[in-house]
Amino acid sequence: MNKLELKNIKGSSDYGSEDEIIRNFISNTLRKTFEKYGYKPLSTSILCYYDLLALKYDEDNDILKEVYKVTDQAKRKLALRYDLTVPFAKYIALNKNINIPFKRYEIGKVFRDGPVKKGRVREFIQCDVDCVGIEGQMIEAELIALYVEGYRELGIDIIIKYNNRKIMKGIIEECNIQEEKIANTITIIDKFEKLTKEEIVQEFSKIGLNKNTIDSLIKYLNMNFEQISTNFSKTKNLTLQEGINEIYELNKYIDTLKLNEYVSFTSTLARGQEYYTGTVFEVFQKNGDIKSSIGGGGRYDEMIENFINDGKKYPAVGVSFGLDVIFQIIKEKEKNKKTNTDVYIIPMQNKIQALKIAETLRKQNINVDIEMNERKMKKSLNYANIEMIPYVIILGDEELSKGKVILKDMKKGIQKEIEVKKIGGIKIESN
């Protein structure tokens, strides 16, 4: 029998207690932020029919190359979800009696069989908010505000790049690029900031664009929003007009909410998914330590409409926070706490009293652990130090005979006696 080599699959990880404390902090922080903005929890299935996930794409699309395909015992073609947006659209399609508009959040695992690098893994958690049933840019402005608040609560400085797919498509049409080349053109544009001008020209040439077309396209893509809106102020291209008007509207909300310092209009931002129909977002760490985005999303008005196909409109928009990349940022900043325990009780043979005190403190929402192995004082205190537990309560016989216990502040290295009957009133800074 061959000896099994124990290891994790590339791009997946196990997370010990110290790491999971950080990850729980992230998900709990975001959950509170999402609910603050009126989003309700939702849970969708990890397993999906492959055809559902592939509905919007050609087989050569990059996203489909990264789908984990599986089959069940009946040989049905299934897959692990690669994001939370398509399953959300499926949920709306299967629950037509849902009260619209509907705002939901979901925190769950997704899977992509793609390249592994810093900030990018294959099994990861997305934290999504989506809204169906609202048109106009007011909801997009709210999502920008939610992004700013969520990352602020996590202690991360961000910049949100945003664009409108209608502007991008309109510019492409203005350059007289054939319909069948638009998808490939957008894919190349999405790499605009990662490639040199020579490499961009080379990529466009490969898909059959001539020099004049490439020059015009690059000229327009290097414009800021004011230059684009001025240059195309008299355009008869309805798609381009709509995109410009939508960004005008969004910018008014951004000004009103004083969010300008957090955003940057970027005409080359496409987002890879073909289902986006309007405004798109990507979030980056402001100091650039991690080059890849740490969040993203946008408007996808046609996806749910295509699923349901009942003649009604289902405008939808959503954004995602990447928990795993956020985890790396927080861990590297060394802001993590090694423990979520606030108090460690050392009974010194007084186990019943220890359980009573622990119960009293837990009723105050203080996290308590107890030394149950009857180790010596030195070993017990060393354990609390290694675990970075901030407070220790010692139940010595002499102190208990006087109705008191010892409360030790492990950070400051000081201790004092407190009365047992007052234990319910002590002030403990919860982790």
CB 324 within 8 A of CB 125: yes
Of the given ranges (155-164, 183-192, 211-220, 248-257), which has the lowest mean pLDDT?
A: 183-192
pLDDT value at residue 12: 86
Q: Are residues 349 and 392 in the same domain?
A: yes
Q: Are residues 252 and 351 in the same domain?
A: no
Q: Is residue 3 part of a domain?
A: no
pLDDT value at residue 60: 62
Q: Are residues 277 and 411 in the same domain?
A: no
pLDDT value at residue 231: 93
Highest mean pLDDT: which range of 66-70, 128-132, 203-207, 404-408: 128-132
Q: Is residue 2 part of a domain?
A: no
- The better pLDDT of the pair 178, 238 is held by 238
Which of 300, 332, 364 is where one domain is finished?
332
Q: Are residues 251 and 385 in the same domain?
A: no
Q: Is residue 5 part of a domain?
A: no
Q: Are residues 91 and 133 in the same domain?
A: yes
Q: Is residue 11 part of a domain?
A: no
Residue 335 confidence (pLDDT) above 60: no
CATH of the domain at 137: 3.30.930.10
Q: Are residues 71 and 155 in the same domain?
A: yes
What's the domain range around 140? 17-332
Task: Give one DSSP letter per residue of 12-63, joined into a string.
Answer: -----HHHHHHHHHHHHHHHHHHHHTT-EE----SEEEHHHHTTTS-TT-HH
Q: Are residues 320 and 364 in the same domain?
A: no
Q: Are residues 78 and 28 in the same domain?
A: yes
- What number is the average pLDDT over the span 168-173? 93
Residue 333 confidence (pLDDT) above 80: no
Residue 129 phi/psi, 5-degree rounding, is -125, 135
CB 44 within 8 A of CB 91: yes
Which of 284, 301, 332 is where one domain is finished?
332
- The better pLDDT of the pair 219, 273 is held by 219
The H or E element that residue 213 is part of is helix 211-221
CATH of the domain at 362: 3.40.50.800
pLDDT class of 117 with cuts at 50, 70, 90: confident
pLDDT value at residue 249: 97
Of the given ranges (138-147, 259-268, 372-381), which has the lowest mean pLDDT?
A: 372-381
Mean pLDDT computed over every residue of the chain: 90
Q: Are residues 354 and 268 in the same domain?
A: no
The H or E element that residue 331 is part of is helix 323-332
Q: What share of the chain is helix, strand, coil (3-state, %, to 5)?
A: 40, 20, 40
Return all residues near 16 (Cβ < 8 A) that are at least 6 apart.
none
Q: How many domains does the chain have?
A: 2
Q: Are residues 280 and 168 in the same domain?
A: yes
Which of 309, 332, 355 is where one domain is finished?
332
Q: Are residues 30 and 162 in the same domain?
A: yes
pLDDT value at residue 54: 84
